Homo-oligomer: A and B are copies of this chain.
Amino acid sequence: MRVPGQLYLTYLLALCLGLLCMVFVAYWNATWRGGFAWDGSAKQFNWHPVLMVAGLTVLYGSAAVLYRLPLTWGGSKLPWKLLHAGLTLLSFLLAVLGLFAVFNFHNKGNTPNLYSLHSWIGISTVALFTGQWLLGLASFLLPCTPLELRRRAKPLHVWLGSGIFILGIAASISGINEKLIFSLKGLNGTAQYSALPQEAQFANMLGVLIVAFGLTVLRILSNQAWQRPEGENSEVTQPLLQD
């Protein structure tokens, strides 16, 4: 089978953009927001963007394009399904920890939770992710699930998988925007967001990188020629424990 070099180039681009997202979100919070701690202070809040971008965007996106790596096409699909389940579980746990960081910070400071549209979209993303992961486990890994159900579940899993990824991006963009509005108020001689100080430029660039990573991942997912060839090793006929 001919594997276009374009696939590897797009994969490499996604990898670089994902790494840049992580570097940017960590550097932003370490340099301009005071760094990290786990003590209920603003330094604990700083874990929230880092963990959400790591979990819901970079690791989630990497897990989504796993089956597009030609390396995974030969032989049994089962180990790759387990890796996909493991990576998405890790990304889910990072997201839950990221939520815990902000809820705990809010509660200690008596700040209300879940009022902004950012928080509504974010919490819906994680709720849908919970359902998606459990339904994915039930549909594609449990051996007792009928093959017909497995076949019907696949397009829904693929669609909702992309949908959750997109919701995560919308939550990130609105969250970075909100954080900069709240932080760059021009108090005590500091610059306002509207004056575009260095922090604002840098964190805006983080938003652009997240969007670029998202578009690159969706490019890999949307190219039908880059899909794992369906055959006897297809997931439809190969649940866990029947391998």
Give residues in A with beta carbon < 8 Å to B.
111-112, 115-118, 120-121, 124, 155, 158-159, 162-163, 166-167, 169-171, 173-174, 176-178, 180-182, 193-196, 200, 203-204, 207-208, 211, 214-215, 218-219, 222-223
Q: How far, in whole Å, are A178 and B178 apart by their CA atoms in the complex? A: 7
Q: How far, in whole Å, are A200 and B115 apart by their CA atoms in the complex? A: 8
The one of B112, B166, B207, B218 that contacts A120, using a Cβ cutoff of 8 Å: B207
With a cutoff of 8 Å between Cβ atoms, the chain B residues found around residue A121 in the complex are 173, 207-208, 211
A159 adjacent to B222 (CB under 8 Å): yes
With a cutoff of 8 Å between Cβ atoms, the chain B residues found around residue A176 in the complex are 117
Closest to A200 in B: B115
With a cutoff of 8 Å between Cβ atoms, the chain B residues found around residue A118 in the complex are 173-174, 177
Pairs A–B under 8 Å by Cβ, sample size 26: A111-B194, A112-B194, A115-B194, A116-B177, A117-B203, A117-B204, A117-B207, A118-B174, A118-B177, A120-B204, A121-B173, A121-B208, A124-B208, A155-B222, A159-B219, A162-B218, A163-B218, A166-B169, A166-B214, A170-B170, A173-B174, A174-B178, A177-B177, A178-B178, A181-B181, A181-B182
A158 adjacent to B222 (CB under 8 Å): yes
The A interface, classified by DSSP as helix, strand, loop or mixed, is helix
A195 adjacent to B162 (CB under 8 Å): no
A116 adjacent to B174 (CB under 8 Å): no
Q: How far, in whole Å, are A121 and B208 apart by their CA atoms in the complex? A: 7
Q: How far, in whole Å, are A183 and B238 apart by their CA atoms in the complex? A: 55
Q: How far, in whole Å, are A223 and B222 apart by their CA atoms in the complex? A: 12
A216 CB to closest chain B CB (Å) equals 10
Q: How far, in whole Å, are A124 and B163 apart by their CA atoms in the complex? A: 21
Closest to A181 in B: B181
B180 adjacent to A117 (CB under 8 Å): yes
B117 adjacent to A218 (CB under 8 Å): no
With a cutoff of 8 Å between Cβ atoms, the chain B residues found around residue A223 in the complex are 155, 159
With a cutoff of 8 Å between Cβ atoms, the chain B residues found around residue A214 in the complex are 166
With a cutoff of 8 Å between Cβ atoms, the chain B residues found around residue A117 in the complex are 173, 176-177, 180, 203-204, 207
A115 adjacent to B177 (CB under 8 Å): no
